Amino acid sequence: MKSVEQKISSGNVLEVKDLKTYFFTGRGVVKAVDGVSFELKEGETLGLVGESGCGKTITCLSILRLVPGPAGRIVGGEVILDGDDLLSKSEKAMRRIRGKKVSMILQDPMVSLNPVFTIGNQMAEPVRIHQKLSRRLVWEKVKEMLRLMSIPSPEIRIREYPHQMSGGMRQRVVGGIALSCQPRLLIADEPTTSLDVTIQAQYLRLLKEVQQKENLAMIMVTHDLGIVAKVCDRVAVMYAGKIVECGDVREIFYRPAHPYTKALLGSLPKMEERQEKLYTIEGQPPELHALPPGCSFAPRCPDVQEICKQEYPPQSIIKDGHCTSCWLFAARKA
Amino acid sequence: MGEILVEARDVKKYFPVNRGVIVLKHLGDIKAVDGVSFTIGKGETFGLVGESGCGKTTTARLILLLETLTGGTIFFDGKDTSELSGPELRKYRASVQAVFQDPYSSLSPRMRVGTIIAEPVVIGGAISTNGIKDRIAQVIKMVGLRRDAMELYPHEFSGGQRQRIAIARALASNPKLIILDEPVSALDVSIRAQIMNLLYDIQQKLGVSYLLIAHNLAVVKHMSKVTGVMYMGKLVEVVESQELYLHPLHPYTQALLSAALPSHPDEQREEIVLPGEVSTPFNPPPGCRLYRRCLYARPVCSEQDPPLKEVSSGHFVACHLH
Ligand SMILES: Nc1ncnc2c1ncn2[C@@H]1O[C@H](COP(=O)(O)OP(=O)(O)OP(=O)(O)O)[C@@H](O)[C@H]1O
Ligand SMILES: Nc1ncnc2c1ncn2[C@@H]1O[C@H](COP(=O)(O)OP(=O)(O)OP(=O)(O)O)[C@@H](O)[C@H]1O
Ligand code: SF4
Ligand SMILES: [Mg+2]
Ligand SMILES: [Mg+2]
């Protein structure tokens, strides 16, 4: 009962609250995800951006409770999907949820495809598990998915093995599998990294179409801001395991607040302008097992102040739905 | 354009495809590069873009003499590179260096950074041990690495730092041309900008020429004076980068540019979608390579291969429409 009420009142498909996932390693505790919160509505796309190693993939894997153990553990927080807390579910219940209510497109398509089974068999599997359909209907559904992902002659393709397809086709097959059970939430982790420009554009358009048709909520993980500009409604910028800024895509692009977001946008070469030099962020991202006290960005920040090195900044609301954790804004309010 | 450093004239590279165990049957050729001509000016950057598999890396490998030409000629400083031998060939190898995409696998893991950087200098010959040491120290400083970097191994560095090592190595023999094959695509956005600025500074200071290959059109536009667009082994358009982005003429270039990602959420671009699957350069049919996917194809396009011709000053296009 409670969950139904919640669903109606918040309209959120997903709510992640203060999520913490740590790796307990020989080097120390790696705080890969350290207090991440965000929410996602039906039909909405959230872009999760940030440098390599900042915790994007681990955030997604935590939602599905697929954090690589035994070193990795979710140590705190809540993941609420349609009103249900996933972190308190049994493993058996989680298995029913994965691939049905929540689907994930993994970073590397070759990892998700098994080389010894045909494309058809691999696409049919989740359909068989989650929907009680006759054999014939399952195959019809698989062909429909291939057609939907713009793969020509699906009758022939379902009998092929992954190595017989081009990289771009494989990525679309993985996308097809992820969408085949009409999930509520789709998590796409760098789905187009190995594609060239034209095929990438085609793939993104397809994802968007399916999303609109099914009213899917989607998390798009990427470090390419161009992809964010093209497909996302909202953006969460991650740095060293924390979300440092979150807001509407236009707010983030046109009125970025956090110095890291500004730097990220500034270091992008632009097609329409002629710049001699690009803006750069000096230095390296910090090691997650030895974070500096205070703001993690402080050692590289052009606007660093004394307090930044001592205490982590609180979250400030810039405008409805646009938040940042940075002393520059906390100070202004105080 | 000022003085010319490299001239590729009707360059071809075919990879034969054979089948059979005892008697090999020649089934045909992969025409990876099929009659490509371009020039690279001294101190300038020539950008090369195009679909995956269109022959960009093969073109680069031909210039590096890592592949033998099936046809055509590559001139360097006015000399035919296929006729170089002895000390002249050694000198050529030292004058042309390359930086590849993957900063993780392109540096040999068992060698110290100093040795890696010194290699092309040693190959070029004619320099004393002390001279080599000084040179390494110089280039290490130039690319912004710490002085003690030369004593370490590549795995002790991050991706961006490794790419700096690769650039230092390419600079060590004082080259005239550096081939940059996807030099920043494996790097993070913020590190990317550092490396692009570094390459820009080096060119300003040393007057070295670059052949830049990249998928990211904004990167190519940012760095190169002239851009060439390849499609299935052919150059289909060559023009100043600025002009290419403003007035692309070839139907493939138009589709390619329309697919580029926007730089902000309100950038409106009508996406041109080429119908059909990506074609392969194995035994391509006669006529224009784009014929089966082109939105404007005419009967002549399936019969005659359009030559690359100058349609307005400095703007070259290979298309029957122009
Ligand atoms: N199995 C593991 N053991 C220890 N640390 C790990 C493990 N997996 C990930 N990490 C650490 O967790 C942090 C976050 O990793 P994650 O894969 O989420 O990064 P990411 O933001 O997805 O980066 P990328 O853009 O490179 O994919 C990294 O710093 C990584 O070193
Ligand atoms: N040694 C080889 N033997 C046979 N075919 C080859 C060989 N090297 C390259 N090819 C083929 O030549 C064509 C051009 O390849 P090339 O590597 O030059 O493409 P590219 O434009 O660099 O692509 P990408 O952007 O994916 O790097 C491809 O069809 C490739 O399969
Ligand atoms: S809190 Fe301080 S160091 Fe961190 S981003 Fe803001 S200004 Fe820079
Ligand atoms: Mg990742
Ligand atoms: Mg290549």
CATH of the domain at B171: 3.40.50.300
The answer to whether A271 contacts B51, with C-beta atoms less than 8 Å apart, is no
Give CB contacts under 8 A, 24+ apart, made by A62-69: A62/A19, A62/A21, A62/A33, A63/A14, A63/A16, A63/A102, A63/A187, A64/A94, A64/A98, A64/A102, A64/A104, A64/A187, A65/A89, A65/A91, A65/A94, A66/A98, A66/A104, A67/A21
What is the side-by-side order of every strand in the sheet holding A28-41? A28-41, A12-25, A72-81, A84-85
Which residue does chain A place closest to B217, by CA atoms?
A271
A156 by DSSP, 3-state: which? helix
Q: Which atom of ligand 3 is nearest to the CA of A309?
A: 3
Report ipTM for this prediction. 0.78
In a domain, A278, yes or no: yes
In a domain, A147, yes or no: no
User: What is the mean pLDDT for each group of 10 consecutive residues in chain A (334 residues)?
Assistant: 47 94 91 95 95 91 92 95 94 88 81 84 83 85 81 81 78 83 89 79 85 92 90 96 96 95 87 76 81 92 94 93 94 50
Looking from the CA of B40 toward its CB, the CA atoms found within 13 Å total 28
Pairwise CA distance, residues A60 & B37, whole Å: 48
In a domain, A74, yes or no: yes
The answer to whether B193 contacts A284, with C-beta atoms less than 8 Å apart, is no
Q: Is A287 in the pocket of ligand 1 (CB under 6 A)?
A: no
Q: Which two tokens stand for residue A143?
A: 């062909």
Q: What pLDDT is recorded for position B286?
A: 86
Pairwise CA distance, residues B224 & B215, whole Å: 13
Q: Which of A11, A17, A8 is nearest to A37 (CA)?
A: A17
What residues of A are in contact with residue B215 (Cβ under 8 Å)? Answer: 196-197
Which residue has its alpha carbon closest to ligand 1 atom 29? A53
The length of chain B in residues reads: 322
Instruction: Let me know: does A196 contact A180? Beta carbons within 8 Å.
Output: no
In a domain, A35, yes or no: yes
When comparing pLDDT for B218 and A239, which is higher? A239
If interface means Cβ-Cβ distance under 8 Å, which residues of chain B face chain A?
A: 51-52, 158-160, 188-190, 192-194, 196-197, 200, 215-219, 221-222, 242, 245, 255-256, 258-267, 271, 273-274, 277-278
The answer to whether B264 contacts A229, with C-beta atoms less than 8 Å apart, is yes
Pairwise CA distance, residues A46 & A233, whole Å: 6
Per-residue pLDDT tens digits for B29-52? 889 999 999 999 999 999 999 988
What residues of B are in contact with residue A166 (Cβ under 8 Å)? Answer: 278
Q: What pLDDT is recorded for position A194?
A: 67
In a domain, B15, yes or no: yes
Give me the mean pLDDT over the B182-203 stretch.
86
CATH number at residue A238: 3.40.50.300
The two counts, helices (H) then strands (E), for chain A are 13, 12
In a domain, A146, yes or no: no
Instruction: Let me know: does B51 contact A196? Beta carbons within 8 Å.
Output: yes
The answer to whether B264 contacts A253, with C-beta atoms less than 8 Å apart, is yes
Number of domains into which chain B is organized: 1
Q: Which of B114, B72, B94, B58 is nearest to B178 (CA)?
A: B94
Instruction: Tell me the residue range of the domain where A201 lies.
Output: 4-101+183-333
Q: What pLDDT is recorded for position A334?
A: 43
Q: What pLDDT is recorded for position B278?
A: 65
In a domain, B322, yes or no: no
Per-residue pLDDT tens digits for B152-182? 898 888 778 888 899 999 999 889 999 999 8
In a domain, A71, yes or no: yes
Residue A40's H or E segment, with its range, is: strand A28-41
Q: Is the pLDDT of residue B249 over 90?
A: yes
Which residue has its alpha carbon closest to ligand 1 atom 25? A52
What residues of A are in contact with residue B278 (Cβ under 8 Å)? Answer: 166, 168, 199
Per-residue pLDDT tens digits for B260-312? 888 888 887 788 888 776 667 788 888 999 988 898 999 999 999 999 999 99
How, if at all, do strands A315-319 and A28-41 pair? unpaired
How, if at all, do strands A217-221 and A185-189 pair? parallel
In a domain, B310, yes or no: yes
Residue A31's H or E segment, with its range, is: strand A28-41
Q: Which of A184, A182, A31, A6 is nearest to A85 (CA)?
A: A6
The two counts, helices (H) then strands (E), for chain B are 9, 12
Instruction: Tell me the residue range of the domain where B191 lies.
Output: 4-317
Which of B8-22, B71-85, B292-306 is the most confident on average?
B71-85
When comparing pLDDT for B319 and A163, which is higher? B319
Q: Classify B50 in phi/psi space as left (phi over 0), alpha (psi -120 to 50) or beta.
A: left
Q: Considering CB atoms only, which of B196, B222, B265 is closest to A253?
A: B265
Per-residue pLDDT tens digits for B89-142? 999 999 999 998 777 777 888 899 999 999 888 877 667 788 888 889 989 888
The answer to whether B278 contacts A249, with C-beta atoms less than 8 Å apart, is no
Count CB-CB contacts under 10 A for residue B129. 9
Q: How far is B114 from chain A (nearest CA, A)?
A: 23
Q: Classify B2 in phi/psi space as left (phi over 0), alpha (psi -120 to 50) or beta.
A: beta
Q: What pLDDT is recorded for position B279?
A: 65
Q: Which of B230, B174, B172, B180 is nearest to B200 (CA)?
A: B180
Q: How is residue A171 annotated by DSSP?
A: H
Which residue has its alpha carbon closest to ligand 1 atom 12? A32
Q: What pLDDT is recorded for position B100?
A: 86
Q: Is A57 in the pocket of ligand 1 (CB under 6 A)?
A: yes
Residue spans of alpha helices (H) in A2-98:
2-10, 56-63, 91-97
What residues of B are in contact with residue A258 (Cβ under 8 Å)? Answer: none
Q: What pLDDT is recorded for position B40?
A: 97
The dihedral through the CA atoms of A157, A160, A162, A165 has a sign that is negative
Identify the bridge partners of residue B97 per DSSP, sorted by sequence position: B178
Number of domains into which chain A is organized: 1
The dihedral through the CA atoms of A275, A279, A284, A289 has a sign that is negative
Looking from the CA of A211 toward its CB, the CA atoms found within 13 Å total 25
Per-residue pLDDT tens digits for B288-299? 999 888 989 999
The bound ligand whose nearest atom lies closest to the alpha carbon of B181 is 5
Q: Rounded to the nearest 5 degrees, what angle is found at the Cα of B42, between the Cα atoms of B38 and B48?
A: 40
What's the alpha-carbon Rg for chain A, to the nearest Å?
A: 21
Q: What pLDDT is recorded for position B227?
A: 97
A14 by DSSP, 3-state: which? strand
The length of chain A in residues reads: 334
